[in-house]
Amino acid sequence: MKPLAASTTKARLTDRIGVLLVNLGTPDATDYWSMRRYLREFLSDRRVVELPRWVWWPILHGIILTTRPHRSGRRYAGIWDKERNESPLKTITRAQGELLARSIGASSAPGDGKAQDIVIDFAMRYGNPSIASGLDRLLQQNCGRILVVPLYPQYAAATTASVADKVFEILRARRWQPALRIAPPYYAEPFYIEALARSVRRGLAGLDFEPDAILLSFHGIPKSSVDKGDPYYEHCLITADLLRQALGLDEAHCVTTFQSRFGRAEWIGPATDATVKALAARGVKKLAVVMPGFAADCLETIEEVGGEIRALFLGAGGEDYAALPCLNASEEGMEVIARLVRRELQGWLTSTD
C-alpha cells in the first residue's frame, strides 16, 4: 500500500491558539421554562449538589423545578437587559472576551502559521453560549491549542472543577483533540490583589459618604465541602487578608462574610445577611460591600447584595449603603485577565510582550 502523503496545509491549520473564557451561567430568558432549563442543568451537576441521586432527584424534580423558576425568573427580570435580551453576566463576559482580544493582539487571519494567531471566545458553564459550542467554534477555526480560563479567582470544586469536568466530557467524545490547558485560580496573585485594591479605592472615592465598615462578601459553599478538602474557604480568607493589607485596613473595620446560601445544610460563615443586621444593631450606619470572588457582576452581586442585603441593612437601622462593582471589563479587570492569559500561554506564544 502506498503511504499517505503528509498534508502541510492541514498541519498549518492547527497552529492557532484558542482562549475560552468561562463564567458560571445565565438563563436564556426570564420566563418559567427558560428558568427551569437553566436551573435543571445547574442543580443536576454533581459538583454543585453532592447528595445521592435517590435523595436529590425527587427534591429537584418534585419541588424545586416546579416552584423555584417563578421566583428566580422574577429576580432575573429585575436586572435583565431588555435591549440586549440577556443578563448582565453575559454582557460583561462577552465584553471581557472582546477586550482581551484587543489587548493580546488576536489575529483574524487564520492559518498564518504564527504562534500569536489567537482566537478568543467565551462560554457559560450552564446555559448559553455553552462550553460545547465555545469549543466547537475554536476547533472550527483550527485551534490546535486551547486555553480554558475559568473566571473564578478562588478554586472550588463546584466552579473550577465543574468547568474542567465539562471540557473533558466534551473532548472525550472527539476523535481528534487539541492540546489543552486550564488556567489555575488566581486568588493570591499580586496582579489580582493590586487590581482589586485600585478598584475598591476608586469605588470608595466615588461615594458621597465614608463607610463605617466594609464587608468583603464571597459566595458561600456548604461546610461539608470544606470538610472534604475543598480549598475554597482558605482561598477566600487569603484573598481577603491580602486585600486588607493592600488597602491598609484591619479586620475589625473590614470583615469577611459569605453570601448566597442555598438549602438547609450548614454553610461556611459568617453569613453576609446576618452580619449586616448585626453591624446595624451595633450602630454602624454607613456600609460598603466589596465582592472579590466575582469576576463579573451577576444576579448574586446586583440583585442579592445590591438589593436584598441593602434592604436588610437599611431596615435594621443603617443609613448609607453601597455595593461596589466587581472588576468586570474595567481597566483593572482586564489587566487581571490579560496577565493571567499571557502567563498561561507561555511556551505557546513566541513572545509574551
Structure confidence by residue, pLDDT tens digits, 140-168: 999 999 999 999 999 999 999 999 999 99
DSSP strand E in the chain: where? 16-26, 118-127, 143-150, 179-182, 213-219, 254-259, 286-290, 320-323
What pLDDT is stored for residue 2 in this prediction? 54
Q: Which fold has domain 190-323?
A: Rossmann fold (3.40.50)
What pLDDT is stored for residue 117 in this prediction? 85
In 3D space, the residue among 135, 141, 146 whose CA is nearest the CA of residue 174 turns out to be 135
Q: Is the pLDDT of residue 113 over 50?
A: no
Residues of the chain with CATH 3.40.50.1400: 17-186, 190-323
Residue 319 among known ligand-binding residues: no
Q: Which fold has domain 17-186?
A: Rossmann fold (3.40.50)
- pLDDT per residue over 248-263, tens digit each? 999 999 999 999 988 7
pTM of the model: 0.92
Share of the chain above pLDDT 70, in %: 92
Residue 300 among known ligand-binding residues: yes
**pLDDT band at 8; cut points 50, 70, 90:** very low
- Listed in sequence order, the residues at least 6 apart from 225 whose beta carbon sits closer than 8 Å to its beta carbon are 50, 156, 157, 158, 232
What pLDDT is stored for residue 15 in this prediction? 77
